[in-house]
Structure 1
């Protein structure tokens, strides 16, 4: 019998730093923080590198990749978007580009997927205890365990809970993983790439896992980057599994990239006792700083905590806290799946992913949808100027949507569109990987199935509950011609491992783009339709002189040919009709397409100004 999960079950989850288009070094100050210096700061510590990884040759095994993994037999009901307060549905579509099976199943669960992609197209994909390096064509340059990758006698226990990011401000990679399963031998491993090629050497550092010397070890690490520093956050747990507290590590990054001794300090006994602190790296190409924003939920409290370290560690930063009210949210039930009586762990309501862009913190987590017992995606925008939060919820009928992560999905820094990867399962569906987007106006796209199921999952099952996902990875390709993200997540698969067949979680990597159309402004001579004023900075109008009753559709596209929204669908009578539209989109250049009785009759460039 299915029972309600009343407290979190601690399987790991991930933050991926998201970065996009050009940014200058920016220092952001908040007005009226509610608390200053609301945590204890350690003294400055120094750690030397334990050595470098080997340099790997660029000999690859070609992996055949697919360009459409959607199940053609899916019914419309299966992908029906379930509405909720604050949720609107957009007609925008996503497409799956290059995609391929990735990190091998090695007997560890959950999958703990994390991914980063560089401007040169190198993909670093981490899963529970292994690392793979690919290019964007799916060619695998390296596939090995994290322990073999580092290959050092100080690493004596399996590395797990890995998370990686691409620091676009420095054009380098950095990742962290956890060593050991008890406080006595707990360590935090941090690896900095020495060049922008992840096949070159990495500088490896090991710091104590029991930093507070209170018999705890760090789990659930998140990683973020500013102009000067790398930040690692995590939850300290006793060996019994009981949560102790969350901490923040602040590390000067230049020494890590160069192989010199790294210096760091850390913040602990944070006043409001958060659970899982997530750094919010910059949502555009480059970094912001000095300093860093973080967000977290506080247990049993319907607020989001905003933390701000105001400067780098050498300039005596202040640690500030603001608490912002948000709508109530609750933990969903464990998740059923087709073909099995084993349930999947649905996680909890901790924040899983965040980034900062244009005065907003974007963050996402899962929560129960309308007391249905199913998980939904709970997407939020935190306005730093007003310290207010707006949220929008996405769900699919009779399904759980879990373990989301997000990235900016726009070519304009003031457009708030995001792409979100997530996992899905239901009584009629086996565990699969999906993606969806939410645009500037909080309209949700139709979801896309990235990798459909091959099997149910029961590997690691205990008392009828199996680990699931723990986290998905997502990263923006900064120099793509149009908004593009790459994601990594898990799906149910049947695998032979150590002589036995297992129903386990395997990894899939995919490129996600907008569905686009080609817009040709030639032969655009229908003088019976006009658009004015153009450019416009407020309302604008479409005049239609119609010779008889006809059905019209008016659609807006951006300059990349991506559909923004349908503005009008309906019948227009004979005679002259004036349609009025209010400016409710970001400034920029758009294309207006007008169809009459399903035939395109007008294509007009439209410029919207501030």
Structure 2
């Protein structure tokens, strides 16, 4: 007993001296060692990347081929999804229709400033990721392109081929995070279009401003030569953790964990890391390393969780026990939970092209106050796609979860961020996508507290359907991720989100936005007034008038699209001064029918209004 007291006092002294939130002393008696420390590896820095921005009006265009994020047992999964598609249409499996479980006692999300960011690259999916610095720089990345945003305006755009000094001709699956300990960004990018021996790029920003450039490292993704895919990134105070699934001959084989020293990376020195690639647990598909919820870090080591891709009644809990220099071990325990399972592919309006809703692999999560919060795709009792929100107490090893769903909609690809002010606040924001045959694919956000009380979800952005014909398929890739990040440039809770939407050309595009509740916003939304503008008369047979007020001077583009999303005519591209404006345009060149007028102001789409031309 005396030794235990001394150890506890020493632990508390260390906690008070450290900037990190120390992991609690948990009961590890039922956790088994599934990997021993493999030893430290080193890699030389390849130099500095800081290419100039492309013209902001240019469209990055690289390869169209994207790897299929195959599930652990893909054949069985597809059979389950096909059956659930039939059952949901029949509305079997539920006595009553479900609706979003709205509580009147919780906070309601408010969508602030938003803008189109990473443009489509001719491929699917977008694989969105987003992060923000304490000084308000937003880094938004998607397959093959990266944007920097400040004060609600895109300041920088580049394709990843140029960004990586032409070292990686085919990239995908970027992941970017903000490091509150070093006050810098970390970013992961990988080679795609291969079946084996791909490389991964590890980038450490030189400062909190991404325009100052990044230190660049390239390492082999799998020591045994497999193809590494579906990355997840987390961090402790001293280290970055990158995980991914390894495929051999196009079949899932094992998972890897990279444990990477931060200090060497952020200084451009020889990188110190290790690769955990001989993990003996049965449940290791898509391991999620957990970031800390608040503007701080935790450690030493990290916690990881995973779910079974085809569904199960348990989750996997991992404890990577210590830092690189402390001979860490990887421990594992299977935790019982309520059953979860995959839904089915989603329909969308005006198209026979279905959207791939993926599987139940872990999507996103965080750790705070001795509790893990994470989300994944699941299925509701009526067989429509749902979001599953889990909580895991690391002390008691007890798990609980609930789903968020509504009959007639398929929900998919959630991401989650902490939304409390202090670590004892059990509050989160969840960003997700949903679709059905009567609506275009939507990006939405919902608030949830620690007792699984949800707000109603709020629309962030929706525009058009996406098509399959360009890729010769009947089911188009939808996710495979959405992005969400806590905004720590504010004292009040706020998040930034980034997700894919269908554009007028039938491809995916990216929309990012700030979301808060009744608190402050980090960006003054100077374009909201324009959204109140009026198009009149409507319908008309000779001329339309557009009236709106510009709160600031800026660049405006007016374009007309037909009802099938085809761009018909660019009406105006001009600088516009602050104040009230009235524009008129003739309809003599348009056939009778329905059209859409889209207006972009300072790179933001602020009007997408339908109008009718009479005979």
TM range (shorter): 0.7 to 0.9
Work out the CA distance in 1 between the residues paired with 2:34 and 2:389.
27
Alpha-carbon separation, structure 2, partners of 1:460 and 1:37: 48
Alignment match of 1:376 (pick from 376, 379, 386): 386
Does the Cα contact within 8 Å between 2:309 and 2:359 map onto a contact in 1?
no
Alignment match, 2:200: 188
How many pairs does the alignment contain? 463
Alignment pair present for 1:314 and 2:325: yes
1:148 maps onto 2:162 in alignment: yes
Structure 2: how far apart are the matches of 1:455 and 1:292? Answer: 40
Q: Are residue 93 (structure 1) and residue 95 (structure 2) matched? A: no
Contact 2:106 2:447 in 1 (8 A): no
Residue among 113, 116, 121 paired with 2:131: 116
Hey, what does 2:360 align to over in structure 1? 349
- The answer as to whether partners of 2:145 and 2:159 remain within 8 angstroms in 1 is yes
Gaps of 5+ in 2: 1-17, 58-96, 521-615
Contact kept in structure 2, 1:52 and 1:204, CA below 8 Å: yes
Superposed displacement of residue 482, structure 1: 1.5
Query: Take 1:139 and 1:168, find their aligned partners in 2: how far apart are those partners?
Result: 24
Structure 2 residue 508 is the aligned partner of structure 1 residue 505: yes
1:199 partner SS: helix
Equivalence for 1:235: 245
Task: Determine if the alignment matches structure 1 residue 262 to structure 2 residue 271.
Answer: yes
Identify the residue that residue 442 of structure 1 maps to in structure 2.
452
> d(CA) in 2 for partners of 1:207 and 1:470?
24
Distance 1:432 1:287 in 2: 33
Distance 1:319 1:26, change over 3 A: same
Give secondary structure in 2 for the equivalent of 1:256: helix
Q: 1:494 is paired with a residue of what secondary structure?
A: coil
1:206 match: 218
Q: 1:197 aligns with which of 209, 214, 217?
A: 209
Conserved? CA contact 2:376–2:413, under 8 Å = yes
What aligned pairs does 1:28-427 form with structure 2 within 5 A after superposition? 28-54=24-50, 56=52, 82=99, 90=105, 92-135=107-150, 137-152=151-166, 154-155=167-168, 157-213=169-225, 216-238=226-248, 240-273=249-282, 274-298=284-308, 301-372=312-383, 374-427=384-437
- Name the CA shift for 1:459/1:167 in 2 (closer, same or farther; >3 Å): farther
Paired residues of 2:430 and 2:447 also in contact (CA < 8 A) = yes
Aligned-partner SS, 1:474? strand
TM-score (norm 2): 0.72
Give the secondary structure class of the aligned counterpart of 1:255: helix
8 Å contact from structure 1 (residues 101, 508) kept in 2:
yes
Q: Is the 8 A contact 1:224 1:232 kept in 2?
A: yes
Task: Give the secondary-structure state (helix, strand or coil) at the position aligned to 2:163.
Answer: helix
SS of aligned partner of 2:298: coil
1:457–1:493 contact (8 Å) kept in structure 2: no
Q: List per-residue Cα deviations over 1:158-197 (Å, max 9, x = no partner).
A: 1111111001111110111111422455101111001111
- 1:328-382 per-residue CA deviation (whole Å, 9 max, x = no partner) reads 111111111111111110000001001100010000001011142x211100110
Structure 1 residue ranges (4+ consecutive) displaced by more than 6 angstroms after TM superposition: 57-61
Distance 2:474 2:257 in 1: 35
TM-score when scaled to structure 1? 0.72
Q: 1:81 to 1:284 in 2, by over 3 A?
A: farther
For the aligned residues, what is the CA RMSD? 2.3
Residue 199 of structure 1: how far off its partner (Å): 0.6
C-alpha change, 1:184 and 1:370, in structure 2 (3 Å) is closer
Are the equivalent residues in 1 in contact too, given 2:110–2:517 (CA < 8 A)? yes
* CA–CA distance in structure 2, aligned partners of residues 33 and 145 of structure 1: 49
- Give the secondary structure class of the aligned counterpart of 1:275: coil
